[in-house]
Amino acid sequence: MAGSTPGIPPAFGRDTAVGFIGLGIMGSGMAHCLLRAGYALQVFARRDEAAQPLVQAGAQRAATAADVGRACPLVFLCLSDDAAVEEVLFGPQGLAQGLAAGSIVVDTSTIAASSERRFSQRLAAQGVTLLDAPISGGQQGAESGTLACMVGGPATAVEACRGVMSTFCKAITHVGDVGAGQTVKSCNQVAVAGALLGVADAIALAKSQGVDPRVMREVLLGGTARSFVLEKHGERVIAGDFKPGFRARLMRKDLRIALETARQGGAKLQGAVLAEQLLSELCDGGRGELDWAALGALVQEKAAR
């Protein structure tokens, strides 16, 4: 399999020094889960305000990403985009400069599958394994340790990391070679975006006929239309509660990744194109920092015109 290397242990134990880079909304929650589980954690962050809560909770702060690699045979990344991952891995004082052969990097960022494959090949040249392991479950899931993770890479490496990853994931599914994790994450984002469009249209239809959308939602939750999106995001759309959560600009980024991945593979997606267009309108209109469920509010506005 792509990126497989010798020297991977059967499992990383509680005595493993674990590194974490990317201490934003998701990463900080995941890193706190590792600390609560008793792992010796090394973190790297450029901003003091990102690192200090973890240092106060018991983590050690490294001066550079390379220092994290020197200290830790297992390092997690949770970064914003392809460029950020590449910079952390291969930029000046990047992680790759410190990693020893046999180390594993687990990238929980959501980026392009093609980028993960390229990064994997570069790391494999120095005996390091990369797993692409994007996550789903939002800020609450990161903080409570109940994320779902779809992992691409060698099966031996996935099993070696499973115990550590279980501190912040309730579901860890090996979905194939490097890049497969990102592909499945794109599938997830395409599916939930399409579902939200359907839920938002249903709310707009109910309102147009004078039907209480909350009553409509309760009826639908008892039948074949029941879904996570209807249960969670439907209520947010009805209530107009768009405190993030998962920001609209990030969902737009994810859908753009999905559309580019589809283009490379020759697939012509339909619903995802419309969802990305509407999210772009939402973000360009100054609402990119709202929860992405605000997409439903835009649908309501258009329905009322």
* Candidate list 170, 185, 232, 268, residue with the active-site label: 185
Instruction: Clarify whether 185 is annotated catalytic.
Output: yes
C-alpha atoms less than 13 angstroms from C-alpha of 7 in its C-beta half-sphere:
14
Dihedral angle over CA of 204, 188, 21, 143, nearest 10: 60
Report the C-alpha gap between 2 and 180 in whole angstroms. Answer: 11
φ, ψ of residue 45 in degrees (nearest 5): -150, 140
Give the C-alpha separation, 289 to 291, whole Å.
7
Among 149, 151, 156, 160, CA closest to 178: 151
Nearest 5°: CA angle at 111, between 145 and 59?
40
- By annotation, the residues acting in catalysis are 185
